[in-house]
Structure 1
């Protein structure tokens, strides 16, 4: 069976009921494109029943984090943001008490990029509850202070712990360094050079783009970003930065690690990926010159069955 046949079999069997969009490129060409229909949300807001097509924007949720890492590399090339080894808290001099705290002086930007801050943070509660640290951050008067003042629970750099607050800090440093809102900088530095004209970046109550989860893209444009990464940056993102981003730095599980806001599967078939709640995925399989962009509606389902079934069919 061909890759397309295997995916069709999965769809006919109802094994991917919440698949919203799928774009697959191999050797730089679109080899498969499918769209579905179903209930959808824009973060916490219901969009009702949506019939998806190539022109439909979709939440990519935490894939936003991976895009932010690409933006950091572009800004770093232009000398607008500090090197990853620089101190993290001192990038926010407005928090005089935190800058003066010797217990936080060891924190670096790299600790945020790798989600190894060692701060108290828990996103295991539903994303509708303030018991979830990311939601609590959004409800706080100042998102960046909220993250930086979390209690220290372990030595930074030792253990990966999922933290949307880390991405919020990176987004804040980009906005500070470029002197532009994150979405505005993303449009000029990344999206327009890639030919991506339409996107949305949801903002919080403070008007700041939600760096951790707010980006909305079309699946084709998500695939375009993946192709650019697979091709070494395309002259937009520095190739040496991509090498740093996609290098496995912190173990998560067997043959699975974290780079700079990207996941790296170091198993038999090396894969790199950007993941988002609900089954949003951008997968790159370099050995097969394969780019897979998936959008789905399995929100808050840790098994994300639609995405799992389709990707298994794609790899055969």
Structure 2
């Protein structure tokens, strides 16, 4: 049974009830493209029923973080942002008290890229609660200060802790270096060169694009980003950066690792992946020239639909 037949079997079985779309590419060719319908929710809006097609943008939630990592690599090659080894807090001189804090002096940009800041940060509670650190950041009057002033609970670089605040800081560094908002810079250096014209970026109440979870793309656009990673940047993102970004750096669990804002599997079937709340997935399997883009509506729930589809594609 081929890939398309396996995916079709999942759709007919009802084991992916929250699926909104799936695009599968092998060797640069689209072999599966499916769109459904269901309840969806833009991150700042109320849920509504949507009938999806190839032109419908979808929240990709935390896949946004992985896109920000791609943008950081472009900005770095253009000399607009500090290197991963550079001090982090020092990039925000408007907070002299934090810059002068010896307990934060060892923080680097790489600690943000790998989510190993060692700060008190909790995203284990639902994203509807202000006990969730990312939501609290979005409600704060100054998102960057909110992140940087979190209590230090362990030395940076010692343990991976999921942190949307790290991605917000990276987005802020890109905006400062580029001298323009993140959506405009992304359109110019990444989306337009890839032929992506309909990207949307939800902003926080402060008018700043949400670098942790605000991006909206068509599933075909997600797949195009996967092709870029598969193709070592396609001349848009530096080859060296793509390889550094997807190199396993921090242990999460078993063969599951984290690179620069991308997940990496180091098992018998190596892959890299971007993951977003609700079942948003972008999977790249280099050895098989495989890219899978999935969107779904299971926000703050178990991502059964995305899992079922990916299991079918990977035949596992």
Q: TM-score, normalised by structure 2?
A: 0.99
State the partner residue of 1:311: 310
1:224 aligns with 2:262: no
State how 1:146-225 maps to structure 2 within 5 Å: 146-225=146-225
Unaligned runs of 5+ in 1: none
Unaligned runs of 5+ in 2: none
1:260-294 per-residue CA deviation (whole Å, 9 max, x = no partner) reads: 00000111110100000000000001111000010
State the partner residue of 1:241: 241
Mapped to 2, the partners of 1:186 and 1:228 lie a distance apart of 14
Checking the alignment, whether the CA contact within 8 Å between 1:44 and 1:128 is kept in structure 2 is no
1:9-46 per-residue CA deviation (whole Å, 9 max, x = no partner) reads: 11111000111011110000000000110000001412
State the partner residue of 2:138: 138
- 3-state DSSP of counterpart to 1:55: coil
1:84 aligns with 2:92: no
State the partner residue of 2:268: 268
Q: Return the offset for 1:68.
A: 0.2
Q: Return the offset for 1:199.
A: 1.0
Mapped to 2, the partners of 1:287 and 1:256 lie a distance apart of 17
1:82-112 per-residue CA deviation (whole Å, 9 max, x = no partner) reads: 1000000011000011011111110000000
Mapped to 2, the partners of 1:297 and 1:250 lie a distance apart of 29
1:35 aligns with 2:35: yes
Mapped to 1, the partners of 2:223 and 2:139 lie a distance apart of 33
Mapped to 1, the partners of 2:277 and 2:187 lie a distance apart of 23
Checking the alignment, whether the CA contact within 8 Å between 1:58 and 1:295 is kept in structure 2 is yes
1:124-166 per-residue CA deviation (whole Å, 9 max, x = no partner) reads: 1111110000011111110000000000000100000000000
User: Which runs of structure 1 show a deviation greater than 2 angstroms over 4 or more consecutive aligned residues?
Assistant: none
Mapped to 2, the partners of 1:139 and 1:19 lie a distance apart of 30
- 3-state DSSP of counterpart to 1:45: coil
State the partner residue of 1:282: 282
Q: How many residues align?
A: 315
Mapped to 2, the partners of 1:178 and 1:287 lie a distance apart of 35
Mapped to 2, the partners of 1:240 and 1:13 lie a distance apart of 43
State how 1:286-301 maps to structure 2 within 5 Å: 286-301=286-301
State the partner residue of 2:115: 115
Q: TM-score, normalised by structure 1?
A: 0.99
State the partner residue of 2:58: 58
Checking the alignment, whether the CA contact within 8 Å between 1:113 and 1:170 is kept in structure 2 is yes
Mapped to 2, the partners of 1:126 and 1:269 lie a distance apart of 32
Question: CA 1:81–1:188 in structure 2 vs 1: closer, same or farther (change >3 Å)?
Answer: same
- 3-state DSSP of counterpart to 2:308: helix
1:211-270 per-residue CA deviation (whole Å, 9 max, x = no partner) reads: 000000000011011101100101100000011100000000011000000000111110
Mapped to 2, the partners of 1:260 and 1:183 lie a distance apart of 20
Mapped to 2, the partners of 1:271 and 1:306 lie a distance apart of 20
